[in-house]
Structure 1
Amino acid sequence: MSTIIYWLRQDLRLDDNAALLAACAGAKLLPVYCHALQTDSGWGFLRAGPHRLAFTGQALDALRRALRARGSELCEIAGAPADVLPRLARQISADRVVCEHIAAPEEEAEVAALRRAGLRVDTIWQSSLYAPQQLPFAPDRLPMTFTPFRQAIERAARVPEAPLATPDTLPPLPEDWQRAESPARVPPAVEPRSSFPYHLPAFHGGEDAARAHLGRYLASALPHRYKATRDSLHGTDYSTKLSPWLACGALSPRRVWQALKDFEAERGASESSDWIGFELLWRDYFRFLLLRHGTRLFRATGLSCQPVSAHNEAAFRDWRHGETGQPLVDAAMRELAASGYLSNRLRQVAASYLVYECGGDWRAGAAWFEAQLIDYDVYSNQGNWLYIAGRGTDPRGGRRFNPQRQADEHDAQGDYRALWSSA
């Protein structure tokens, strides 16, 4: 009788989970999550900060409850997958590992290491709205900029596949596995000013909270105002706030798409509701960009031939701590550190300021966002920083924002700067 390890990565849900359903082909199944040991980012701080750890812990607790309701369990172990999964496989006589496919260098290396250790590893792509085989071109022919990518999708009239149903039951656990209690969690930060207050039940990291939030958002008139409000700086309603759940995998983009189309069928489509789908396409584009270019997106030069400037460490430190002297940027960096969240507009302004005003290495900024953001996603984080720095796919060669002009346009009364005038 075969035993399969379902290795959870950034897919902390049961709904629309092709990897989980593939793992259910085994006679016995053990869902496993590996907690990576904390390492230095290479820029003087740890790679995962407390906000991301706390939000992931919430998602795992919710997943554990959902698994138990279906007769299964969540095994959480600490250590590098290449070290702990082969040992666990021997312990429970597992002959196969199933996991989602993440097309980033470190994640690809983890899978390669498991295969070198003698494990059969089946990876399944499942984090994008469109599957790679649905694209009207081969992944290695991905257009170099977003607009031709979007236009090709639209011309081909491709429709995302329907989300997969949540399984009612799961295969039994292997007898040799010893049930363990949940590990200690990092507590959520209680920050009333946050635009994503994940200490509150409505913003909890789990799948149920994600689905409930999606339902509440679409039950309101907010989707028809999205395009007009999406560049706001503060509040829980100016944007969809789906990114944290999409990032950890508690919510599927295909589930969001289906719910959005149901909303439009009932309440009518609009330019604003259509823009939500546009944002999901951007998210896909960054995934396919990494699938095509791999390690090139992690080099200092990115996809460009521009020379690499020296990194200003002192200015980078001031930027991280919100001590640059530029009020809007400093307010943004204080919010990020205090809450683990930041509006899209402010992410762009802060990133631009580091690259163009502070003389900071864009990779250092990307690493800081990785450590701080509860919605950190390797594809979007890398793609957006390359875009701002002019080392990715922006046809204009980068985006430099004037922070004072941005403040005048988006914070004319100074409310946001006043709110985050101190940590």
Structure 2
Amino acid sequence: MPEGIAIALLTCDLRMHDSPVLHAAAAHPGTLPVFVLDEAIHGGGLAPPNRSAFLADCLDDLDASLRARGSRLVVLRGDTATETARLAHRTGAAKVHVAAAVSGFGQRREAALRDALGERLTVHEAVATTVAPGEVLPAGKDHYAVYGAYFRQWALVPRREPFPAPSRLNTPEQLGGLALDEVRRQLTAHGAAAPELAPGGETHGRRRLWSWTDTGLDGYAEGQDDLAGDRTSRLSPYLHFGCVSATELAQIATSAQSPGSEPFLRQLAWRDFHHQLLAARPDAGVNDYRSRGDHWRHDEAELEAWRQGRTGYPIVDAGMRQLLREGWMHNRARMFTASFLTKTLYQDWRAGAAHFNQHLLDADVANNQLNWQWVAGTGTDTRPNRVLNPLRQAQRFDADGSYVRRWVPELASVNGSAVHRPWQLPAAVRAKLDYPEPMVDLNDGLARFRLARGL
């Protein structure tokens, strides 16, 4: 048995179940579960309010679970490598266990930990994904650039069994660290969170996991794009913070042998696909993966109208307002709101990604920026010039207008599909609606985009 004390340095794995880091640290006589509020992310109000509030929930929930097992969470603040090395020196920790990183920031953090800790550092598999970046590779290349080819190999990778939650942990007393009420105060001091934000933490995540796989998975194949039906899992925030294990979720979906299993697994594979791409091309978080020679427009008034959900296209505005109210948006809505910004308004995908990053609970560099690039045509989409017409999207995925009426209350009195084209209502009716006219003609926007791309 390993000797001495081990630090379980938790990053995007804020859970007890299926935690390779906690499982390895628990094999030592003493275990110190640690989370560091890194100044590079959380300093000076840098972290968006929604994710900060959700993180505070996650830390509270994890601490409660640890205390039920004779342990507790030690929360430190500062540079992760510096604070972890300082704690290891003070406690005489023989090992520090941490999960492998994917993003550029995570890779730099891991390098700093190696410099500070040397052989005491043990890096485990990346916990944000089901299949680790680099585990499957095309011949002679460092990543897959085509999702279909990636998925075929992804589906063949044997999956390990999830680790059980430790039943008991031996954590020394008087370790210091921040009190969790002070952690919450610091995290939530720089802005109010969305009014309908989901609660954070493994307890809520697992409750959602089991509820949805029991009642929602069977209908996922036909319901995943149903905007008003809200039939997606809504597990993405819990996956982002590591409250739910992607490996365990994939195992549950596979074992269910449900009609929804394969389409749901394809969504998990999309997450992994973007993580392996980012791991190989960290600069894709800020630069075009495949440049199309775009000279993007910048119109701040248009951009702000898009941010606030005042474009005059109800289906677009509904998605943008759902984001502001919940810190989450239906995946189908993410696609057509992004297409509207980048291809109808021809504005830079980075401006849209920044707004999503400010509000989305599940925003990370891999899935936020690279999905934006996919829609903008600068990423891996094999049809980079496709445009999602918002009126056609509305007709297909919100035919009776229920989604729009839920999120655009100014139009709640407009019945049926007419809600998608309020500019066609009688003038007397339009005069009573506090709703803008369309900010751009769709045909004009399409023509501008085609001209810009030389089509």
Q: Is the 8 A contact 1:383 1:392 kept in 2?
A: yes
The CA deviation at 1:230 is 0.7
Identify the residue that residue 214 of structure 2 maps to in structure 1: 219
| 1:354 counterpart = 2:353 | no
Indicate whether 1:274 and 2:262 are aligned.
yes
Q: Deviations over 1:227-247 (max 9, x none)?
A: 2111122355x1122212111
User: Among the aligned pairs, what percent are the same residue?
Assistant: 33
Give the one of 218, 224, 228 matched to 2:222: 228
Asked if the contact 1:334/1:422 (under 8 Å) is kept, the reply is no
Q: Secondary structure at the match of 2:219?
A: helix
2:228, 2:402 within 8 Å by CA — same for their partners in 1? no
- Higher Cα Rg, which structure: 2
**Residue matched to 2:288:** 301
Shift of 1:141: 3.9
**1:118-137 map, 5 Å:** 118=117, 120-124=120-124, 125-132=126-133, 135=136, 137=138
One-letter amino acid matched to 2:136: L
> Which position in structure 2 is the counterpart of 1:388?
375
Partner of 2:280: 292
User: Cα 1:178–1:279, aligned 2, differ >3 Å: closer, same or farther?
Assistant: same
- Count of aligned residue pairs for this structure pair: 399
CA positional deviation for 1:400: 2.2
- Quick check: 1:52 aligned with 2:51? yes
Q: CA deviation at 1:68?
A: 0.8
Change (3 A) 1:115 1:310: farther
Distance (whole Å) between structure 2 residues aligned to residue 359 and residue 95 of structure 1 = 54
Structure 1 runs not aligned, ≥5 long: 192-196, 199-203
Q: 1:255 aligns with which of 244, 248, 266?
A: 248
Aligned counterparts of 1:224 and 1:354: Cα–Cα separation in 2: 34
After superposition, what is the alpha-carbon deviation per residue over 1:272-292, rounded to whole angstroms, capped at 9, x for unaligned? 332111111111111111122
Change (3 A) 1:391 1:284: same
Is residue 75 of structure 1 aligned with residue 74 of structure 2?
yes
Equivalent-residue separation in structure 2 for 1:139 and 1:287 (angstroms): 19
| 2:397 alignment partner, one of 410, 419, 423 | 410
Structure-1-length-normalised TM-score? 0.85
- 1:253·1:280 contact (CA, 8 Å) conserved in 2? yes
Flag the 1:123–1:319 CA change in 2: closer, same or farther, 3 A: farther
Question: Given the superposition, is the C-alpha separation of residues 179 and 386 from structure 1 closer, same or farther in structure 2, using an over 3 Å criterion?
Answer: closer
For residues 289-317 of structure 1, give each alpha carbon's deviation from its aligned partner in whole angstroms, at most 9, with x where no partner exists: 1122222x123322335345354333322
Root mean square deviation of aligned Cα: 2.8
What amino acid does structure 1 have at the position aligned with 2:246? P
Q: Partner residue of 1:201? A: none
How far, CA to CA, are the matches of 2:315 and 2:339 in structure 1? 12
* 1:241 match: secondary structure: coil
Deviating more after overlay: 65-74 vs 135-144: 135-144
- For 1:323-402, list aligned pairs within 5 A: 323-402=310-389
> Compared with structure 1, are the counterparts of its residues 182 and 22 closer, same or farther at alpha carbon in structure 2 (3 Å cutoff)?
same
Higher relative contact order (CA 8 A, sep 6+): 1
- What do the CA deviations read for 1:319-351 (whole angstroms, capped 9, x no partner)? 222233332222221211111011001111111
Q: 1:177 aligns to what?
A: 175
The gaps in structure 2 that reach 5 residues or longer are 411-455
Q: TM-score, normalised by structure 2?
A: 0.79
**Whole-angstrom distance in 2 between the partners of 1:130 and 1:49:** 28
- The CA distance in 2 between the partners of 1:167 and 1:386, in whole Å, is 40
Q: CA deviation at 1:20?
A: 1.7
User: Does the 8 Å contact 2:6/2:31 carry over to 1?
Assistant: yes
The separation in 2 between residues aligned to 1:169 and 1:29, in whole angstroms, is 10
Distance 1:330-1:98 versus aligned 2 partners, 3 A rule:
same
